[in-house]
Amino acid sequence: MRAEDFIIEGGSPASEQELLATKPVTYARDAWNRFKKNKVAVAAAILLLCLTLLVIVGPMVSDYPAAERANARARNLAPNAEHWFGTDSMGRDLFTRVCLGGRASILIGLAGAAIVIVLGSFYGGIAALLGGRADNLMMRTVDILSSVPNLLVILLISVVIDSKSIATMIFAMTVTGWCPTARIVRSQMLRISQSEYIMAARLMDIAPIKIVLRHLIPNTMSVILVDTTFRIPGFIFSEAFLSYVGLGVQPPQTSWGALAAAAQSMFQFYPWQLLFPAGGIALTMLAFTLLGDGLRDALDPRLRR
Amino acid sequence: MLKYIFKRIAYMALVMLTVTTITFFLLHLIPGDPITAMVQDLPEETRQNYLAAYGFEQPLGKQYLLYLRQLLTGDLGQSLRYPGRKVADIVANYSPVSALVGGIALLIGVTLGLACGVLAALNRDRWPDRAVMVLALLGTTIPTFVIAALLQYALSVTWPVFPTTGYKGARYLVLPVVCMCVGPLATYARYMRSSMLDVVNADYILTAEAKGLSEGRIVMKHMLRNSLLPCVTMLCVSVAGIFAGSFIVESIFALPGLGRYFISAISDRDYFVVLGLNVVLTGVYVCAILLSDILLMLLDPRIRTGVKA
């Protein structure tokens, strides 16, 4: 049966004016409109943008790399006009250090989340599509891998590969980090493939590959996007933790975690040395969490009021 | 039901075996042998004697089997760096401190967290809800070491009410406990709130209201009981976590707990302690998950009947 086979009785076809009266609203536009209304999420997005700009532009403003040089006559200075965040125990400008550390921290957060999301999405997606025994085996593997406490895995891998660079650290953090994402993606795909419109598509004899490309993947994207936003702060926190226990970023490179760790011992005398990097971590994690909340509300039409 | 429990136990054993295997081979993948990693300029003969004493000269597969057999007899191995110091002794000596501090913190955190969650859910979208959610958000996003540092600065540097670090009496425990209960408080508040909100719209609440039960009775008997169920799972894992101790809080406050020892074993590159503690901690964690599964089954008739059917 084709559309032409139906005879429409009564009612005239919609006039051109009627058709134009309501503009078709795409899913993305609809989500964007909902996101815009969420003031907290928008504020978080703007805050993130500002932070990113700051860590990129900051070192250029502060006469880097001269500000990075140790200066014995300007040790542990309090914040002042010349050194906005003061100086550290080697006389380096803390503003520059915090910006450089922020670059590393945010980069680790983004890279870690990207790796985890790509791996997890493929794994979960493939498991959902294969189904049956393969799916069972794949998900049991995930169950076993995620039965190991996350921090222990990160610590252990860092010890074994003796992580000294950012790359090895990201590796340690992502080894089992993709498991939750694989679960989320798989369950979302399974949920969609059981919905009525997929059944309709199957009954219409649409090629499976087309169903996957047109329906399953686009409808999983929103879940993946939200998961990404929530994973980034997790990686920033793990980096801070690793650097804090001395397994993370090594000097002369730095990160917010490493800066906070270095400031810890002298904290009672020079509290600002800890407060600035710690504030960076807290603000970034807060902003990403709020952004994730906003995205989840915007992308899930079921939550619409 | 018994079959289900046996299945879970078998599964748990499989997890433990996998974790042990992976950890073992990872540690042995490290280039060079552990003796050379510790002391470089050792006479060749002494080195060989050491290697033989620890069985490092044998093929890796055999070492692995030996290690497994050793684990099965309950021997968790001993320190390379401090000969004679057994992993089991380390656990026995250091975990009580972790358990004490962590236990008090968890008790306070969970109680307050659940109360806050209930308060927020019952006042949905009004100011108590907002306040609890903001606090919970801050609690989950501010790193522990920042909270610890702020507490130390405020309460032992600026106003010296509590000692900064150490472990010599009850007063030394206040700051670490406060620091460690922030996390559970925030997590349980968020969790309990959403769990309560799920229950609020359930049909049986409507029935209870239709029967004319008082609000207090509905909240206590119907809502609380049912929304506490999902929290049981989390609680078991949290209890397993206190045994391991908090890596960061124990290091900052210089508490002689298992978490701090684990970190120092890592920086000492004391591989066998790391391996042994890893096995112990994973074991506790996996047992906690098993326990929570069984508890949930006992508490939730839906799961119980589902198993029988």
For residue A63, the model assigns a pLDDT of: 63
More confident call, B233 vs A187: A187
Task: Determine contact: A136 vs chain B, CB below 8 A.
Answer: no
Task: Determine contact: A148 vs chain B, CB below 8 A.
Answer: yes
Domain positions in chain B: 94-268
Interface touch A244/B23, C-beta < 8 Å = no
Domain positions in chain A: 40-65+81-303
* Nearest residue, CB atoms, B282 vs list A152, A157, A264: A152
For residue B108, the model assigns a pLDDT of: 92
For residue B308, the model assigns a pLDDT of: 42
More confident call, A150 vs A70: A150
pLDDT beyond 70 at A152: yes
- In tens, the pLDDT along B143-166 reads 887 888 888 878 777 787 777 777
Mean pLDDT along residues B257-265: 83
Instruction: Select from 3.10.20.600, 2.40.37.10, 1.10.3720.10, 3.10.20.90 the CATH code of A40-65+81-303.
Output: 1.10.3720.10
Q: Measured between beta carbons, which residues in chain B are less than 8 angstroms from residue A233?
A: 141
Interface touch A159/B164, C-beta < 8 Å = no
pLDDT beyond 60 at B307: no
Mutation for B interface: A156, A284, A290, most B CBs within 10 A: A156
- Residue A267: closest CA among chain B residues belongs to which residue? B149
pLDDT beyond 80 at A236: yes
Q: Measured between beta carbons, which residues in chain B are less than 8 angstroms from residue A155?
A: 262, 266
Interface touch A148/B282, C-beta < 8 Å = yes
Instruction: Give the Cα separation of B205 and B223 in Å (integer).
Output: 7
Q: Measured between beta carbons, which residues in chain A are less than 8 angstroms from residue B164?
A: 268
For residue B200, the model assigns a pLDDT of: 79
Interface touch A160/B26, C-beta < 8 Å = yes
- In tens, the pLDDT along A23-80 reads 666 777 777 888 888 888 888 888 889 888 887 877 777 665 655 666 666 666 666 6
Distant-in-sequence, close-in-space partners of B143: CB < 8 Å, separation ≥ 6: A237, A240, A241, A260, A278, A281, A282, A285
pLDDT beyond 70 at A194: yes
Interface touch A147/B27, C-beta < 8 Å = no
* Nearest residue, CB atoms, B143 vs list A147, A246, A278: A278
pLDDT-derived band of residue B112, with 50, 70 and 90 as boundaries? Answer: very high
Cα B252 from chain centroid (whole Å): 18
pLDDT beyond 80 at A16: no
CA of A300 to nearest chain B CA: how many angstroms apart?
17
Where is B113: in which H helix or E strand?
A: helix B87-122
pLDDT beyond 60 at A211: yes
Q: Which of residues 96-125 of A touch B (CB under 8 A)?
A: none
For residue A305, the model assigns a pLDDT of: 39
Interface touch B140/A289, C-beta < 8 Å = yes
Task: Determine contact: A230 vs chain B, CB below 8 A.
Answer: no
Mutation for B interface: A230, A244, A291, A293, most B CBs within 10 A: A244
Percent of residues, chain B, with pLDDT higher than 90: 1
- In tens, the pLDDT along A74-127 reads 666 666 666 666 666 666 777 778 888 888 888 888 899 999 999 999 898 888
Interface touch B282/A240, C-beta < 8 Å = no
- Residue B264: closest CA among chain A residues belongs to which residue? A245
Q: Measured between beta carbons, which residues in chain A are less than 8 angstroms from residue B262?
A: 155
* Nearest residue, CB atoms, B143 vs list A162, A267, A282: A282
Q: Measured between beta carbons, which residues in chain A are less than 8 angstroms from residue B125?
A: none
Q: What is the 3-state secondary structure (H, E, C) of chain A?
A: CCHHHCCCCCCCCCCHHHHHHCCCCCHHHHHHHHHHHCHHHHHHHHHHHHHHHHHHHHHHHCCCCHHHCCCHHHCCCCCCCCCCCCECCCCCEHHHHHHHHHHHHHHHHHHHHHHHHHHHHHHHHHHHHHCHHHHHHHHHHHHHHCCCCHHHHHHHHHHHHCCCCHHHHHHHHHCCCHHHHHHHHHHHHHHHHCCHHHHHHHHCCCCHHHHHHHHHHHHHHHHHHHHHHHHHHHHHHHHHHHHHCCCCCCCCCCCHHHHHHHHHCCCCCCHHHHHHHHHHHHHHHHHHHHHHHHHHHHHCHHHCC
Task: Determine contact: A247 vs chain B, CB below 8 A.
Answer: yes
- Residue A240: closest CA among chain B residues belongs to which residue? B143
- In tens, the pLDDT along B181-196 reads 888 888 888 888 888 8
Interface touch A159/B29, C-beta < 8 Å = no
- In tens, the pLDDT along A251-298 reads 777 888 888 877 777 777 777 777 888 888 888 888 888 888 888 888
Mean pLDDT along residues B271-300: 81
For residue A115, the model assigns a pLDDT of: 92
More confident call, A305 vs B60: B60
For residue B309, the model assigns a pLDDT of: 35
Architecture of domain B94-268: Orthogonal Bundle (1.10)
Task: Determine contact: A265 vs chain B, CB below 8 A.
Answer: no
Q: Measured between beta carbons, which residues in chain A are less than 8 angstroms from residue B142?
A: 282, 285
More confident call, A216 vs B271: A216
What is the Cα Rg of chain B in Å? 24
Asked whether A48 and A290 are in contact (CB, 8 A), the reply is no
What is the Cα Rg of chain A in Å? 25
For residue B277, the model assigns a pLDDT of: 84
Asked whether A260 and A274 are in contact (CB, 8 A), the reply is yes
CA of A102 to nearest chain B CA: how many angstroms apart?
15
| Assigned token pair, B154 | 């405020």
For residue A304, the model assigns a pLDDT of: 45
User: What is the value of pTM for the model shown?
Assistant: 0.77
CA of B156 to nearest chain A CA: how many angstroms apart?
9
Interface touch B247/A274, C-beta < 8 Å = no
Interface touch B137/A289, C-beta < 8 Å = yes
Interface touch B145/A247, C-beta < 8 Å = no
Interface touch A241/B285, C-beta < 8 Å = no
pLDDT beyond 80 at A148: no
Interface touch B30/A278, C-beta < 8 Å = no
CA of A32 to nearest chain B CA: how many angstroms apart?
24
Mean pLDDT along residues B228-251: 78
pLDDT-derived band of residue B304, with 50, 70 and 90 as boundaries? Answer: low
Mean pLDDT along residues A175-198: 86
Handedness of CA A74, A79, A83, A85 (dihedral sign): positive
Tell me, what amino acid is at B103?
Answer: G
Q: Taking Cα atoms as reference points, which of B77, B63, B15 lies closest to residue B277?
A: B77
pLDDT beyond 50 at B211: yes
